[in-house]
Amino acid sequence: MADSIFRKLRDGGEEGELAPALTIEETVASPFALDVSCYLLANLSSSILAGKSKSEGLVLVTFSRSPSFYLQFLKQKGIFVSSSSKWIRVLDCYTDPLGWIDQPSPGVITEGSSLIKLHKCVSDLKRLFSSIIEAGREMVGDGKTRFSVAIDSVNELLRHSSMPLVSGLLTDLRSHAQVSSLFWSLNTDLHQEKVTNALEYISTMKANLEPFCPSSDGKRNALENLFLVHQDFGKGQFHIRFKLRKGRVRVMSEEYHVDQTGINFSPISSVETIIAATKSLIPKVHFNLQLSEKERVEKEKVVLPFEHQDHGKSTEIYDGRRTLADGKTEATPLSSGELQADVVSSGKGGEIIYFRDSDDEHPDSDEDPDDDLDI
Partner 1 sequence: MDRSVNLLDLALGFDEPSPLRGKVVLIEDCVETSGSFVLHQMMKRVLSPHSSDSLIFLAFARPFSHYDRVLRKLGCNLATQKTNNRLVFVDMLMMQCSDNESGVAKLFREIQGTVGKLRSVTNSNITVMVDDMSLLEIAAANSNSDHVLDFLHYCHTLTSESNCSVVTLNHEDIYSSMERPAYLLQMVCLADIVIKAEPLASGLANDVHGQLTVVNKGMISSKSGKGSSRNKLQNFQFRIKENGIEYFYPGCSRN
Is 204 a residue that touches partner 1 (CB under 8 A)?
A: no
Smaller CB separation from partner 1, 68 or 167: 68
240 touches partner 1 (CB under 8 A): no
Distance of closest approach, residue 242 Cβ to partner 1, in angstroms = 27
Q: Confirm or reject binding of residue 123 to partner 1 (CB under 8 A).
A: no
Q: Does 220 bind partner 1 (CB under 8 A)?
A: no
Task: Give the per-residue contact string, 316-335, with partner 1 (x = CB under 8 A; - = no).
Answer: --------------------
Site track 43-82 with partner 1 (rule: CB under 8 A), x = hit: ----------------------xx-xx--xx--x------
Q: Is 100 in the site for partner 1 (CB under 8 A)?
A: yes
What are the start-end ranges of the H helices in 269-327?
A: 271-279, 293-301
According to the binding rule CB under 8 A, does residue 337 interact with partner 1? no
Judged by CB under 8 A, the number of residues near partner 1 is 47
28 lies in the site for partner 1, by CB under 8 A: yes
Q: How far apart are CA 220 and CA 208, in angstroms?
A: 19
254 three-class SS: strand
Beta strands 116-118 and 146-151: pairing type?
Answer: unpaired
CA gap 133, 59 in Å, rounded:
9
By CB under 8 A, tell whether 108 contacts partner 1: yes
CB atoms within 10 A of CB 40: 23
Q: Report yes or no: 294 and 308 within 8 Å, Cβ to Cβ.
A: no
Our finding on whether 1 is near partner 1 (CB under 8 A) is no
CB of 280 to partner 1, least distance (A): 14
Residue 198 CB burial class (10 angstroms; 0-12, 13-18, ≥19): middle
* Termini Cα distance of the chain: 52
Task: Please choose, out of 33-41, 162-170, 270-278, 283-291, the segment that lies near partner 1 by the rule CB under 8 A.
Answer: 33-41
Q: Which stretch binds partner 1 (CB under 8 A): 4-12, 257-265, 284-292, 339-347?
A: 257-265
Q: Is position 222 an interface residue for partner 1 (rule: CB under 8 A)?
A: yes
Stretch that binds partner 1, among 8-16, 94-102, 199-207, 333-341 (CB under 8 A): 94-102
C-beta separation of 229 from 216 below 8 A:
no
Q: Is the C-alpha dihedral spanning 103, 107, 111, 115 positive or negative? A: negative
User: Beta-carbon neighbour count of residue 245 at 10 Å?
Assistant: 8
Site membership for partner 1, residue 191 (CB under 8 A): yes
Residue 102 backbone zone (phi > 0: left; psi -120 to 50: alpha; other: beta) = alpha
Instruction: DSSP for 68-93, please give it.
Output: HHHHHHHHHTT----TT-SSEEEEE-
Q: Which of 18, 190, 252, 268 binds partner 1 (CB under 8 A)?
A: 190
Extended beta strands in 119-213, E state: 146-151, 179-187, 205-211
Q: Closer to partner 1 by CB, 32 or 183: give it.
A: 32
Q: With binding defined as CB under 8 A, does residue 101 bind partner 1?
A: yes
Residue 151 found at the interface with partner 1 (CB under 8 A): no
Please, are residues 98 and 122 in contact by the beta-carbon 8 Å criterion? yes
Distance CA 168, CA 151 (A): 15
Write the binding mask 284 to 303 for partner 1: x where contact by CB under 8 A, - elsewhere.
--------------------
Stretch that binds partner 1, among 46-54, 162-170, 189-197, 277-285 (CB under 8 A): 189-197
Name the site residues for partner 1 (rule: CB under 8 A): 28, 31, 34-35, 38, 65-66, 68-69, 72-73, 76, 94-98, 100-102, 105-108, 155-156, 159, 187, 189-191, 221-223, 226-227, 229-234, 258-262
